[in-house]
Amino acid sequence: MLFKENNFHKLSKVFLSETPCVSIFIPTHRAGQTQEDKIRFKNAVSEAKEKLQTESIFNFEKMTEKEAKGFLTSAYDLLEKDNFWLHQSDGLAVFIGNDFFEYYETPIKFETKVYVNHHFYLRPLLPLLNKDHRFFLLALSQGEVRFFEGQKYSITPVKIKDLTPANFAEAMAVEDPEKTLQAHGAGNSTVHHGHGLHKDQQDWQLEQYCRMVDDGLMKMLHDEKAPLIIAGVDELVAIYKNISRYNYIVEPHVSGNVENDDPVLLHEKAWRKIVPVFNQKIEKKKSEFKTAMANGKASSKLLDIVPKAINGKVETLFLTKHAPVVWGNYVESTNTIDAHSKRNNSSVCLVNLAAVKTIEQGGKIYELDHMELPAFTEMANAIYRY
């Protein structure tokens, strides 16, 4: 199952008071190493079984070996599904509770992690939720028009056939109805329009084509602000940029004829071009943090950040990639955090708690290398809403 934002919100609301929640993350391979993936998952399930038998968690009774095996039945069953292991992505996330079992194949390669508590551990999924990585891609040529919505790890085709001409020939058939039959016969092949036409007339036709495409897309994009990157030959891209009414077209474009590029290849090319745009956003947020810190509206102390996140006050959270688990629990009566040097039966991962509460209440999270944090002496930085 592919992971989506609504899955995160569903998982974040699962809290079990009588039986534990088990979260398992492992790296997997897209092809060729099925046995290695199965062994890694089998070892992770064995670790979960041991935790259920030996660790004192929340108010759960430690399980016998038979009870632990029964609780993990769905995970053991998954190990036996050979076809499942033949079709993996880069990472596998599995969530097990009382009468609850879900798994997600993801395009991120996880570090192996087994977490048992009264809630699920969701922090490894954060990179899939970064809305600041959302962008649009227009693949434009004389032979076809394609449009996509992308994120860092995914790209999705968007149906636009009712909004734009399918290709240059169809657009020109609208200008000259007698060419309609010719346009439908053109299919996705490139229309060479230079025969007998002056350069200024050729340019005018291409401009009309781009304008018709833009008019159609603007019916869908009129209230959007996500960056749009264009893929196509330089001449056509320049014309489109000149006439477009969309205010968020990025300067770099994917140059060349992309008619034969599949979505995966288009995504790869587009992401290389657009990642500096997103990096600029991060740098801007880091500058905002420093200003907010000077005004008392930011913090680099995890124990201060967690209560703010729980109360919906965190607008932006910066986290160190691969930060260790920090144990503690939230004391509601004092709105403070009780930190634990070692895990006890009431401990939760404070980093996971801050992240989940930030996402639940509409905040943004950036995971960065440690030295890239605005205040890199700590593992978490936050900008507050007020």
Q: What is the pLDDT of residues 245-270, one digit of tens each?
A: 999 999 999 999 999 999 999 999 99
pLDDT at 32: 74
For position 181, what pLDDT does the model report? 41
Task: List beta partners, residue 232.
Answer: 255
What Rg do the C-alpha atoms of the chain give, in angstroms? 26
pLDDT at 324: 86
Residues of the chain with pLDDT under 50: 179-195
The reported pLDDT for the residue numbered 187 is 46
193: three-class secondary structure by DSSP: coil
Positive/negative CA dihedral, 29, 30, 34, 40:
positive
The pair of three-digit structure tokens given for residue 359, joined into one six-digit string: 């996402």
Lookup: tokens for 352: 């996971």
- pLDDT score for 200: 77
Write the DSSP string, 71-120: HTHHHHHHHT-HHHHTS--SEEEEEEETTEEEEEEESS-PPPEEEEESB-
pLDDT score recorded for residue 186: 45
Q: Which residues contact 84 (CB under 8 A, 6 or more apart)?
A: 78
